[in-house]
Each structure stands twice: as structure tokens, then as C-alpha cells.
Amino acid sequence: MTVAVEVNRVTKKIKGMDVLHDITFSVDKGKIVGLVGPNGSGKTMLFRIIAGLVKPTSGQVSLFGETLHQTISFPRSVGIILEKPGFLEEYSGFNNLKFLADIQKKIGVEQIKEAMTQVGLDPEDKRKVSAYSLGMKQKLAIAQAIMEEPELILLDEPMNGLDETSVKVVYELISNQQSRGATILLTSHNKEDIETLCDEVYKIRSGKIERQ
């Protein structure tokens, strides 16, 4: 079994406080792992660290055997949504994704359109993102996280703002990503999301982790 994510004794201190304290856990390739815990417990910070966006104060994160900030500076293949998706408000949803896809140049127009269609957005919709509803922005964020078919997908509250039908669509989409071999970490305050989707669940409380 390949280990996709290995978090080894990670501590993050901010202004003298342990936001994360001695976190150790690992995720096998192809699993969906849920992180639950109260507001402010450190879930988003852990995602930022796993994505290579924030350096831990101590400890290491390895992704598919490569250690962040040592062997690699950034994860090779990661899709991420964090709590507040940042898009260019004056551009259409499609143009936002095109702009991001052009950075890596891994995918073309067809794959962008496919990702948008999968989440239930119309790639031909010319409206600016500023005219999108909260749920539409969330769908765009999910499309962006999956469009390049990354090996690792980090979804922080992916169902935020989604109606019941859209939640079911996203459940299926996440399962499909697992079926193609992706490893997925997700946070949710909704029990049903966790129970439906996750193979394993960890709880973060006051910066400490425990297996559920």
C-alpha cells in the first residue's frame, strides 16, 4: 500500500500558541479521510501545511514519499479548496479556470469544460463570478480542485453553501475521484458528509489529533 500523506510530529506555533500540536497521522493512497473538529481547532491550518502553503514550526509532511520543504518545495499534484475561494470577480467562471489551468499547462479547454459540467456549472455561462451565488462559487472551487485530476485533493468544507441536490452531485464526484485513484482529505461539520464519504475519520481538538 502506497502512503500518500505522512504527517510526522507537526507543530505550528503562532504568537506563542500551539495552533497544531505534535500531529502525526498518515493516509494511504486512494483513501478518503475526514477531519472533524470544532471551529478554530486547526483543520484549515493542517490543510495549509499539507498543501505546502505554510511551513510547520517543527515536524515534516511527506507526500508520496517526498518531504515538503526538503525534497520538494511544493506538492507535485494537489487540488485544493480552502474556506474562501478566491476568484477574479470580473471574469467568467470559465475564464477563471482557464487562467489557473494556463499556469500548469496540464489541461486544455475541454477538460476545464468537463470539470465545470461535472459540478453542474455551464461553461458557456458568460456572467462574471461577481454575479455568482455562494453555491456557484463553491462549485467553481470544486471544479478547479479536480480539473487537473490531481493525486491528492484537499477539500475544506466542500459542501459550504450547496443545496441538497448539489451535495449529492458532489458526493458522486468525490467518489469518482476516488475511483480513479485520487487520495482525498476533507473537512465537514456535517455528519452525513463524513459518514457517506470517508474511509477513516480523525478528530482535531485544540490542535491535537485523535483517530475516531
Ligand X SMILES: Nc1ncnc2c1ncn2[C@@H]1O[C@H](COP(=O)(O)OP(=O)(O)OP(=O)(O)O)[C@@H](O)[C@H]1O
Q: Which residues bind ligand X (CB under 6 A)?
A: 14, 19, 37, 39-45, 83
CB of 194 to ligand X, least distance (A): 13
Q: How many residues does the chain have?
A: 212
CB of 37 to ligand X, least distance (A): 6
CB of 19 to ligand X, least distance (A): 4
CB of 40 to ligand X, least distance (A): 4
Closest CB to ligand X among 72 and 82? 82
Residue with cell 505546502: 52
- CA gyration radius for the chain? 17
Closest CB to ligand X among 19 and 81? 19
Closest CB to ligand X among 53 and 72? 53
Phi, psi of 161 (to 5 degrees): 80, 5
Sheet strands side by side (includes 152-156): 78-81, 152-156, 183-187, 32-36, 200-205, 208-211
CA–CA separation, 42 and 12 (whole Å): 9
Closest CB to ligand X among 151 and 157? 157
